[in-house]
């Protein structure tokens, strides 16, 4: 006969021993676990011609390695590895009991939940929707009464089904918040790359134990491979210190918080109904009654996001002015003290006007990140995700997708790369793919300077409102695209969702500052390295090969012709004025000066247009003009594929190379306002294009890696750019036709 081993586990007094007796009758044996005085009860039974070896584990609340009972229970599960666990859960104390269940699920051994003492629960006025609980937690749930043996046959059926099905309960992963999740991604990679302790435990579980600083697992890890073990401990130490300074907590406590949050979120979905409400609501729950209310919740959410933008634009205006002032000064300084030539052009047009444009928004980014940290650290962000879950499932996405959207910059200032990786928490491959393909539409930190530039220059009076509209458009577009994809190339059913709701916390000032600083520093670092490098390359592409000698001569002849038509005194006047600022030009000299400047400008523009990048931009113009983009904007958009900040730095360089007036230190925003071919309508078209067009190169790589094929990376580039062009085309054409936003 076939043989299988099953363990009984659960909290003390949940009815394990009673259930054990009901299952095995007299066929049992009492002994001790090896080396300890903890009692071990073993028994045998058979069901459907299968022999079952059943072990009653010591009752524990947790699977940490603190008490002897816990160690015995855990060692039995990891070393002897029963094929399944019957988890006895006291129906009247679901929250506490499910805490143990969650840990069993994380351990990866197939779990069948025996929802015990339903008779006693009923007497206390509690009834539980076992089907709903089962679908939300991802394990079979059978109501039982151990005293009478009710439900035991069904439990055995499910257990045997689980042992036959090599899938077990399927994937089970809880998110532990951004800090720990990021650390886990690194830890899990190291563990699976080196098959670290792989014989004994599941990858994610080992990682969690390192984060929890579990001495037993760490000792085993040191014996297995001390180098890898030290690497894991180092990552755990780093995040531990970080949590201490930012949230004044430590990983084990945070992990417990999120586990309880996960359980509470399940229980909140009408799993438990009580005849009389005996528990007084906790403060967090009271706040949630209002904040996640069907009517008030979304209104509060919009108000919070609008408030964030308002706060950012209002308070960052002055410091942004200072930084811009600094770059204007630097520009003027370099113009005065450097002699004309390539170096000067590189420094002024390539670096100061290019990268400076990106760095100019650092204060704005800082205020934005401060606001986001406040929303996140307080626990409100989790509520946003919770509320959006219902909306998301309507569009064929999953509640966990909300977090991926937010990580990608759903509210502002994230990055699609970790967003794509966050989709790993999705079990259904279809929902995962739909999430991966739509997160790049979010307003990531790299798009922020583009939005800030265009909104600031063309929608100056209503910056916060415009930002809110941009956010809503990005979300709307992402959700509609997801729906479209889920109805066509990746159609299939949706899976249920449980959102972890950690308790509200009062954020600490120190924590907020550290989070703000970390994110701002990343932005600055990227601008100073990647963006700087690409800007220099683009400057070169926009500078070389320059004009041919014959064209240069033509412009020179034009200048000579102007000069020869003028009086000698006028020319002398201009030459003198170039050396001495205090000289006032006469009417005639002013007009000649202006004409000469126009020639210079035409020469500079011809040089830019003749450059490699200029030729590419010009070649695209016959198509792009239908969306309102000229060849300069095209260069910026092509450059933006490398990184979205490049849109700003390239426009900066393009309008700097075109400008020849050494006195012109106006900001890029001011230049765009007065440049021909620009209007609020063009800016809007460009904003929309930037939201939707091909994700940046790094994101495309992440998409390809995460989906396992270049096909999806290529798809996102082609699909997004087509979508973006269609939208910009329609907006620009309709806007032009009706003369809207003409400026």
In this structure, are residues 430 and 398 in contact, taking their beta carbons and an 8 Å threshold?
no
Choose one: 112-120, 255-263, 425-433, 661-669; the region binding ligand GDP (CB under 6 A).
112-120
In angstroms, what is the minimal distance from the CB of 86 to Mg ion?
14
Closest to ligand GDP by CB, 11 vs 428, is 11
Rank residues 17 and 733 by Cβ distance to ligand GDP and give the closer one: 17
CB of 170 to ligand GDP, least distance (A): 27
Q: CB of 446: closest distance to ligand GDP in angstroms? A: 55
Among 4, 5, 17, 378, binds Mg ion (CB under 5 A): 17
- Which residue is closest to Mg ion by CB? 17
10 Å Cβ neighbour count for 565?
10
| Partner interacting with residue 117 (select from ligand GDP, Mg ion, none; CB below 5-8 Å by kind) | ligand GDP
Residue among 358, 393, 361, 424 at smallest CA distance from 644: 358
Question: By CB under 6 A, is residue 13 in contact with ligand GDP?
Answer: yes
Which span sits near ligand GDP by CB under 6 A: 13-21, 244-252, 385-393, 602-610?
13-21
- The nearest distance, CB 56 to ligand GDP, in angstroms, is 7
Helices (H), 611-667: 612-624, 631-639, 645-658
In terms of CB distance, is 90 or 431 closer to ligand GDP? 90
Find tokens 């329609």 and name the residue: 730
Whether the bond between 545 and the residue before it is cis, its omega within 30 degrees of 0, is yes
Cβ(188)–Cβ(421) under 8 Å? no
Name the minimum Å distance from CB 128 to ligand GDP. 13
User: CB of residue 42 vs Mg ion: minimum separation in angstroms?
Assistant: 14
Spatial separation of the C-alpha atoms in residues 348 and 331, rounded to whole Å: 6
Least Cβ distance, residue 278 to ligand GDP (angstroms):
18
Name which position in 117, 397, 490, 534 contacts ligand GDP (CB under 6 A): 117
One of 87, 97, 114, 116 touching ligand GDP (CB under 6 A): 116
* Contact (CB, 8 A) for 84 and 110: yes
Asked whether the beta carbons of 682 and 742 are under 8 A apart, the reply is no
Nearer to Mg ion, 38 or 698 (CB): 38
Euclidean distance between CA atoms 131 and 270, whole angstroms: 11
Binding partner of 12, given ligand GDP, Mg ion, none, CB within 5-8 angstroms per partner class: ligand GDP
Question: Considering only CA atoms, which of 623, 606, 454 is closest in space to residue 542?
Answer: 606
Counting contacts by CB under 6 A, is residue 695 touching ligand GDP? Answer: no
Handedness of CA 119, 123, 124, 125 (dihedral sign): positive
Q: Give the residue ranges of DSSP H helices in 497-586.
A: 509-526, 532-543, 549-564, 568-579
Residues 124-163 that bind ligand GDP (CB under 6 A): 145-147
728 beta partners: none
Stretch that binds Mg ion, among 9-17, 162-170, 318-326, 331-339 (CB under 5 A): 9-17
Pairing relation of β-strands 2-10 and 84-90? parallel
Q: Is 120 among the residues that bind ligand GDP (CB under 6 A)?
A: yes
Judged by beta carbon, residue 25 or residue 677, the one nearer Mg ion is: 25
Among 14, 134, 633, 707, binds ligand GDP (CB under 6 A): 14
14 binds, among Mg ion, ligand GDP, none (CB under 5 to 8 A by kind): ligand GDP
How many chain residues touch Mg ion (CB under 5 A)? 1
147 binding partner (options ligand GDP, Mg ion, none; Cβ < 5 to 8 Å by kind): ligand GDP
List, edge to edge, every strand of the sheet that includes 28-32. Answer: 28-32, 39-47, 50-56, 2-10, 84-90, 111-116, 141-143
- Using CB distances below 5 to 8 A depending on partner kind, what does residue 681 bind out of ligand GDP, Mg ion, none? none
Q: Which of ligand GDP, Mg ion, none sits in contact with 15, Cβ below 5 to 8 A by type?
A: ligand GDP
User: Smallest Cα–Cα separation from 630: which of 693, 557, 679, 667?
Assistant: 679
Nearest CB to ligand GDP, comparing residues 15 and 477:
15
HEC profile of 412-481: CCCCHHHHHHHHHHCCCHHHHHHHHHHHHHCCCCCHHHHHHHHHHHHCHHHHHHHHHHHHHHHHHHHHHH
User: Measuring CA to CA, which residue among 414, 327, 313 is closest to residue 372?
Assistant: 414
Number of residues binding to ligand GDP, judged by CB under 6 A: 16
Q: Which listed option, ligand GDP, Mg ion, none, makes contact with residue 231 (CB within 5 to 8 Å by class)?
A: none
In the bound state with Mg ion, the residue whose beta carbon lies nearer, of 9 and 511, is 9
d(CA 204, CA 191): 9
Sign of torsion over alpha carbons 263, 269, 273, 278: positive
Nearest distance from residue 304's CB to ligand GDP, in Å?
Answer: 46
Q: By CB under 6 A, what part of segment 34-63 binds ligand GDP?
A: 59
Q: Which long-range contacts (CB under 8 A, 24 or more apart) does 274-281 make?
A: 274/125, 274/126, 275/125, 275/126, 276/125
DSSP 658-684: H---TT----HHHHHHHSTT--HHHHH
Interaction between residue 494 and Mg ion (CB under 5 A): no
Q: Which does 13 bind (CB under 5 to 8 A by kind): ligand GDP, Mg ion, none?
A: ligand GDP
By beta-carbon proximity to ligand GDP, the closer residue of 12 and 460 is: 12
Judged by CB under 6 A, which of 16, 424, 515, 519 binds ligand GDP?
16
Q: Please identify which residue in the block is written with the tokens 């994610």.
A: 204
Which helix (H) or strand (E) segment is 111 a member of?
strand 111-116
Of 100 and 386, the one with the shorter C-beta distance to ligand GDP is 100
- Contact residues toward Mg ion (CB under 5 A) are 17
- Contact residues toward ligand GDP (CB under 6 A) are 10, 12-18, 59, 116-117, 119-120, 145-147
């Amino acid at each position: 006969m076939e043989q299988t081993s099953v363990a009984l586990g659960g909290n003390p007094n949940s009815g394990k021993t009673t259930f054990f007796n009901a299952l095995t009758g007299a066929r049992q044996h009492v002994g001790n676990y090896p080396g300890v005085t903890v009692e071990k009860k073993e028994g045998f039974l058979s069901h459907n011609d299968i022999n079952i070896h059943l072990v009653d584990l010591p009752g524990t609340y947790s699977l940490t390695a603190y008490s002897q009972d816990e160690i015995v229970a855990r060692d039995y599960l990891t070393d002897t590895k029963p094929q399944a666990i019957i988890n006895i859960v006291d129906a009247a104390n679901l929250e506490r009991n499910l805490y143990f269940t969650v840990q069993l699920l994380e351990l990866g051994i197939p779990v069948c939940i025996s929802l015990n003492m339903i008779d006693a629960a009923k007497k206390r006025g509690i009834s539980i929707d076992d089907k709903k609980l089962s679908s939300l937690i991802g394990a079979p749930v059978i109501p039982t009464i151990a005293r009478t043996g009710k439900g035991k046959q069904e439990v055995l059926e499910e257990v045997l089904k689980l042992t036959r099905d090599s899938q077990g309960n399927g994937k089970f992963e809880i998110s532990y918040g951004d800090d720990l999740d990021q650390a886990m991604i690194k830890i899990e990679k190291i563990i699976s790359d080196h098959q670290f302790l792989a014989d004994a435990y599941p990858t994610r579980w080992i990682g969690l134990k390192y984060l929890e600083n579990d001495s037993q697992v760490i000792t085993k890890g040191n014996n297995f491979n001390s180098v890898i073990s030290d690497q894991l401990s180092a990552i755990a130490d780093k995040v531990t210190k970080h949590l201490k300074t930012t949230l004044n907590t430590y990983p084990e406590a945070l992990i417990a918080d999120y586990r309880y949050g996960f359980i509470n979120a399940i229980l909140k979905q009408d799993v438990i109904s009580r005849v009389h409400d005996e528990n007084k609501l906790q403060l967090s729950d009271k706040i949630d009654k209002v904040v996640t209310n069907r009517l008030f919740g979304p209104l509060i959410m919009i108000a919070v996001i609008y408030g964030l933008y308002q706060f950012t634009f209002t308070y960052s205006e002055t410091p942004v002015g200072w930084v811009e002032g600094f770059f204007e000064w630097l520009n003027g300084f370099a113009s005065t003290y450097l002699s004309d030539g390539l170096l000067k052009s590189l420094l002024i047009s390539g670096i100061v006007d290019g990268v400076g444009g990106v760095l100019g928004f650092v204060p704005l980014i800082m205020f934005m990140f401060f606001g986001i940290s406040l929303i996140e650290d307080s626990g409100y962000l989790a509520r946003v995700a919770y509320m959006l879950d219902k909306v998301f499932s309507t569009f064929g996405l999953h509640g966990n997708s909300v977090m991926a959207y937010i990580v990608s910059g759903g509210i502002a200032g994230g990055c699609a790369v970790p967003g794509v990786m966050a989709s790993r928490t999705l079990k259904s491959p279809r929902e995962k793919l739909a999430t991966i393909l739509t997160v790049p539409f979010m307003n990531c930190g790299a798009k922020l300077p583009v939005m800030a530039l265009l909104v600031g220059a063309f929608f100056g009076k209503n910056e916060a409102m415009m930002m809110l509209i941009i956010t809503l458009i990005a979300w709307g577009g992402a959700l509609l695209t997801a729906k479209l994809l889920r109805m066509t190339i990746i159609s299939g059913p949706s899976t249920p969702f449980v959102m972890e709701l950690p308790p509200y916390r009062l954020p600490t000032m120190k924590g907020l500052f550290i989070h703000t600083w970390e994110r701002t520093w990343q932005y600055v670092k990227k601008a100073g390295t990647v963006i700087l490098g690409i800007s220099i390359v683009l400057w070169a592409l926009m500078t070389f090969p320059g004009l041919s000698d014959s064209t240069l001569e033509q412009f020179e002849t034009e200048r000579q012709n102007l000069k020869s038509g003028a009086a000698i005194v006028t020319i002398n006047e201009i030459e003198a004025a170039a050396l001495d600022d205090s000289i006032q030009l006469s009417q005639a000299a002013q007009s000649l000066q202006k004409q000469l400047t126009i020639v210079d400008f035409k020469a500079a523009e011809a040089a830019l247009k003749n450059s490699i990048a200029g030729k590419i931009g010009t070649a695209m113009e016959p198509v792009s003009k239908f969306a309102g983009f000229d060849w300069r904007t095209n260069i910026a958009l092509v450059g933006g594929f490398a990184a979205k900040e490049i849109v700003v730095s390239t426009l900066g360089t393009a309008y700097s190379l075109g400008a020849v007036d050494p006195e012109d230190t106006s900001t890029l925003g001011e230049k765009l306002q007065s440049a021909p071919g620009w209007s609020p309508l063009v800016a809007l078209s460009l904003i929309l294009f930037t939201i939707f067009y091909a994700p940046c190169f790094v994101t495309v790589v992440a998409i390809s890696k995460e989906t396992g094929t270049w096909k999806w990376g290529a798809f996102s580039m082609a699909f997004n750019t087509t979508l973006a062009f269609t939208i910009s085309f329609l907006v620009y054409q309709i806007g032009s036709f009706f003369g809207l936003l003409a400026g």
